Amino acid sequence: MKKKPGPLSMLPREIRIRLVAAFALMAVIPLLAGLYLATLHLTNTHLPAYWIKIIIITLMILICAGFIIMRNCVWSIIDIAKTTEQLLSQPKNQNTFSDELLRFEHLLLYLEDQIYAAKRFLNTKRKNDNLPKSFKLPTRVPSSLVKTRLLSLAKNAELNGSLIGVFIWKSSNVSQSETEDSTLVPQWLIAILKNSPIVPDAIGRLKPGYWIGWADNKSINEMISYIQDIKNFLDSINASGISVSAFSHPSESSDLSFLKNSVEILEID
């Protein structure tokens, strides 16, 4: 029966070599140096004081070098996308490269399983202990690209027979900072997103006080429920001047013209 490879054996060869080097610099060499000095002491062989100082300083430098190498190895695993790009861009022997690529694919699958399990444990812990959910702003699409991106997604939804949920948020109270900075997500919208039962895939500003977002595979019932939940939230905080609408395309719209008119994209640059 073939033994299942361990996590370390799935690492790229260069990372494994650096790990071995870091272990040698941080543990093996200092240990051997310590045994050497202990042996000299036991045999009553005395070295000049400056030699001992040189040995100690050299060991400290080697330990620091090992720490730097170890840190780089850890970051290579954390920044796995960059490591993958570097691995694929390096010219290698075909047989060696195939083995290395296969080993790396096993590593990616292993990390994917570990991340999924960690998220599951975290969600279970958060649910059992009623911990607050972590919040991350959705991807922000530049204002100049919102029109093209949304209409392209809507057209693909029609062709593929899928659904796309469209969210529209408006506020009549626009701050000066929001007017001047098109990339600034206003606090009123952040509050809505934090308390939203549906997390949009992306959001974008059409004009100050007018934001739009979308999410894949959202039905009419989900959109209706979303509107009601957000309206209840706005009522609970006594928010005024804010309106929210949402619909599912193409379930609630027969063609793109309905979407264009509903979102008022054509009149907004």
In the prediction, which pLDDT does 60 show? 92
* 46 residue type, one letter: H
**Distance between CA 51 and CA 37 in Å, rounded?**
11
Report which of 267, 262, 264, 268 is spatially closest to residue 246, judged by C-alpha positions.
Answer: 262
CA 195 to chain centre: 21
Helix intervals (H) in 43-175: 49-78, 80-89, 94-128, 143-160
Does the structure show a pLDDT above 50 at 51? Answer: yes
In the prediction, which pLDDT does 94 show? 60
Helices 220-236 and 187-194: crossing angle in degrees, nearest 10, is 120
Tell me the average pLDDT across 59-73.
90
In the prediction, which pLDDT does 95 show? 61
**pLDDT category of residue 68 using cuts at 50, 70 and 90:** very high
Listed by start position, the domains of the chain span 8-107, 139-263
In the prediction, which pLDDT does 257 show? 47
pLDDT, tens digit, for every residue of 245-258? 888 887 654 444 44
pLDDT, tens digit, for every residue of 73-85? 888 887 777 777 7
- Cβ pair 80, 110 in contact under 8 A: no
- Across the chain, mean pLDDT equals 80
**Distance between CA 79 and CA 103 in Å, rounded?**
17
Show the beta-strand stretches assigned E in the chain: 139-141, 164-171, 202-207, 210-216, 242-249
CATH topology of domain 139-263: Alpha-Beta Plaits (3.30.70)
In the prediction, which pLDDT does 97 show? 65
In the prediction, which pLDDT does 14 show? 79
In the prediction, which pLDDT does 255 show? 43
Tell me the average pLDDT across 137-164.
85
Judged by DSSP in three states, 148 sits in helix
Give me 86's structure tokens: 């570097």
**Distance between CA 154 and CA 258 in Å, rounded?**
11
Judged by DSSP in three states, 163 sits in coil
Q: Choose the weakest-confidence range: 24-38, 56-70, 110-124, 222-236.
A: 110-124
In the prediction, which pLDDT does 155 show? 84
**Distance between CA 102 and CA 151 in Å, rounded?**
40
Neighbours of 191 (CB within 10 A): 15
Tell me the average pLDDT across 118-136.
75
Tell me the average pLDDT across 136-150.
85
Neighbours of 158 (CB within 10 A): 16
**pLDDT category of residue 127 using cuts at 50, 70 and 90:** confident
The sign of the CA dihedral 109, 112, 118, 121 is: negative
pLDDT, tens digit, for every residue of 90-123? 666 666 667 777 777 888 888 888 888 887 887 7
Give me 186's structure tokens: 């206003």
Tell me the average pLDDT across 14-24.
86
pLDDT, tens digit, for every residue of 160-173? 888 888 899 999 88
- Cβ pair 227, 246 in contact under 8 A: yes
In the prediction, which pLDDT does 256 show? 44
Give phi and psi for 208, each to the nearest 5: -55, 125
Report which of 13, 12, 19, 117 is spatially closest to residue 68, judged by C-alpha positions.
Answer: 19
- Cβ pair 215, 201 in contact under 8 A: yes
Query: pLDDT exceeding 70 applies to what percent of the chain?
Result: 86
**Distance between CA 96 and CA 215 in Å, rounded?**
43
Residues in the chain: 269
In the prediction, which pLDDT does 128 show? 78
